């Protein structure tokens, strides 16, 4: 038998967007606990490729102005949306991936492992008033200098983390698993 509580937690996970954040700050200690969970993601040959660059308070605003600078073609509405998202969020976690220098595993495996660490971030928020979502705009590829990333490192997106007042939604928007599986017995 598998643990019913684990299934409940996995099936309760869902994205929370800045519109549902209340603008309150999360203590760094709590963010650290979340990232300790992220650090337990599976990883081929233990390369542990995830790196997190965490922005809060005034540094969050520096990241936002860097993004605005990179996107000087943003419409007024897009800029306002970015500003809103940043103001509503407590922490913005730049999810980065460090490619093993000896290329001992293919890049997709490093990306997969990093994505699994993001899943752990998401799962850590279940049953709490903290939530977030992973945003993967194209401009993250241009953040290398700002994030002091090395040649073998890249940013895979921003995880917006915030506090919410609303009750958690039930995550039901899923196709039936029967559409996805084929048994060979
Ligand atoms: C790799 C990845 C990239 C994502 N990028 C974005 C994004 O750029 N913008 C966005 O609104 N949501 C993004 N999401 C969140 C998905 O939209 C969200 O997971 C999906 O709608 C399912 O909702 P749920 O997380 O509540 O189950 C991303 C999710 C993943 C796994």
Instruction: State the CATH number of the domain containing residue 46.
Output: 3.40.109.10
Shortest CA distance to 95 belongs to which of 50, 55, 162? 50
pLDDT at 167: 76
Q: Is residue 175 included in any domain, yes or no?
A: no
Mean per-residue pLDDT, 29-55: 98
Instruction: Give the Cα separation of 133 and 121 in Å (integer).
Output: 9
pLDDT, the chain, mean: 96
Instruction: Kindly state the tokens that stand for 143.
Output: 């953040």
Total structural domains in the chain?
A: 1
Mutate-to-test residue for ligand 1 from 20, 92, 108, 133, highest number of ligand atoms within 8 A of CB: 133
pLDDT, tens digit (0-9, with 9 covering 90-100), for 147-168: 999 999 999 999 999 999 977 7
Relative to the CA of 115, which ligand 1 atom is closest?
Answer: 1
Instruction: Kindly state the tokens that stand for 70.
Output: 């990179």
Cα 116 → chain centroid:
10
Q: Is residue 119 included in any domain, yes or no?
A: yes
Q: Is residue 59 included in any domain, yes or no?
A: yes
Mean per-residue pLDDT, 108-116: 98
Q: Is residue 154 included in any domain, yes or no?
A: yes
Residue ID of nearest Cα to ligand 1 atom 29: 134
pLDDT at 106: 96
For residue 172, name the pLDDT band (cuts at 50, 70, 90): low
Q: Is residue 15 included in any domain, yes or no?
A: no
Q: Is residue 3 included in any domain, yes or no?
A: no
Domain around 140: 21-164
pLDDT, tens digit (0-9, with 9 covering 90-100), for 87-111: 999 999 999 999 988 889 999 999 9
Q: Is residue 6 included in any domain, yes or no?
A: no
Residue ID of nearest Cα to ligand 1 atom 28: 134
The DSSP 8-state label assigned to residue 104 in this structure reads -
Mean per-residue pLDDT, 35-51: 98
**Measured from the CB, is residue 59 less than 6 Å from ligand 1?**
no
**Measured from the CB, is residue 15 less than 6 Å from ligand 1?**
yes
Q: Is residue 169 included in any domain, yes or no?
A: no
Mutate-to-test residue for ligand 1 from 116, 119, 134, highest number of ligand atoms within 8 A of CB: 134
Relative to the CA of 118, which ligand 1 atom is closest?
Answer: 31
Helix (H) or strand (E) holding 123, with range, is helix 107-124
Full DSSP string of 21-88: B-SPPPPHHHHHHHHHHHTTS--GGG---EEEEEEEHHHHHHHHHHHHHHTTT--HHHHHHHHHHHHH
Mean per-residue pLDDT, 30-53: 98
């Amino acid at each position: 038998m598998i643990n019913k509580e684990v299934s409940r937690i996995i099936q309760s996970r869902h994205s929370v967007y800045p519109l549902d954040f209340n603008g309150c700050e999360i203590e760094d200690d709590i963010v650290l606990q979340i990232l300790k969970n992220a650090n337990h993601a599976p990883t081929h040959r233990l390369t542990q490729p995830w790196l997190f660059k965490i922005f809060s308070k005034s540094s969050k605003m520096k990241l936002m102005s860097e993004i605005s600078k990179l996107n000087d073609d943003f419409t007024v509405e897009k800029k306002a949306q970015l500003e809103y998202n940043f103001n509503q969020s407590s922490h913005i976690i730049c999810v980065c991936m460090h490619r093993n220098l000896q290329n001992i595993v293919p890049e997709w495996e490093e990306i997969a492992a990093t994505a699994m660490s993001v899943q752990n971030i998401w799962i850590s928020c279940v049953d709490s008033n903290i939530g977030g979502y992973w945003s993967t705009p194209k401009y993250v590829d241009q953040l290398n200098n700002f994030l002091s990333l090395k040649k073998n490192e890249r940013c895979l997106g921003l995880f917006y983390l915030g506090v919410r007042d609303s009750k958690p939604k039930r995550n039901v928007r899923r196709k039936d698993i029967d559409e996805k599986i084929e048994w060979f017995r």
